[in-house]
Chains A and B, each alone.
Chain A
Amino acid sequence: EAGVAQSPRYKIIEKRQSVAFWCNPISGHATLYWYQQILGQGPKLLIQFQNNGVVDDSQLPKDRFSAERLKGVDSTLKIQPAKLEDSAVYLCASSSPWQAGNTIYFGEGSWLTVV
């Protein structure tokens, strides 16, 4: 079974530039999450999708961050304009509420450095 795919793996941009991250969840997983993980901290939920609908985006800084999952499969997270404090690992994860065990699977993350 293929895992959660993310790209790019690493990105370095200047502040005020924009960046986009892509995620393809495990096939059939209806729930997709984007997390931000700053060094030394646990992951913080940015947005949760159920199919193509948003379940929770309460911690997404909507003035600069946006995310979409138009067809309910892959998803894109965009930051525009980036700030220095956005330097973090952006983790995509997926799960299936209807699958026995209902565990969560993570991608390897997209490492962003804003300079």
Chain B
Amino acid sequence: KNEVEQSPQNLTAQEGEFITINCSYSVGISALHWLQQHPGGGIVSLFMLSSGKKKHGRLIATINIQEKHSSLHITASHPRDSAVYICATKNTGNQFYFGTGTSLTVIP
């Protein structure tokens, strides 16, 4: 079982701010996912990482396999970015373990 920890648990930012959400895990993985969950909505996969860095629009995700750590960055944050961001690790057995999520609120 992989212990996945996220920080911070809650985050409030002003529109335009740069945001970082951190994720650490306890055992080796085959991939790490960053997921987005809007209130009342389903969960959407933003990134899947096994090494390095990925960028999609204003979102950037990085992973350091040696340190067992990943970060999700949002540049020029916008109120529509308000959601819960969840880090999830996947092992070679195709099992996923989830963090408790970071609730982000971006204020106009």
Contact = CB atoms under 8 A, between A and B. Distances in A.
Contact of A97 (B4, B48, B94): B94
Most chain A C-beta atoms within 10 Å of own C-beta, residue among B31, B41, B48, B96: B96
Interface stretch (A14-22, A41-49, A67-75, A80-88): A41-49
Interface string A4-43: 0000000000000000000000000001010100001111
B42 A106 contact: yes
In order of increasing CB-CB distance, the 4 nearest A-B pairs are A42-B98, A108-B42, A106-B43, A42-B100
What does DSSP make chain B's interface, helix, strand, loop or mixed? strand
B45 interface: yes
B76 interface: no
B90 to A, nearest CB: 8
Q: Name the interface size band of chain A.
A: 20 to 34
A105 B101 contact: no
Interface of A: 31, 33, 35, 40-45, 48, 50, 55-56, 91, 93, 95, 97, 101-109
Given A41-B101, A42-B101, A56 B95 contact: yes
Given A103-B48, A106-B44, A107-B42, A55 B100 contact: no
A85 B44 CA distance: 26
Nearest to B44: A106
B63 interface: no
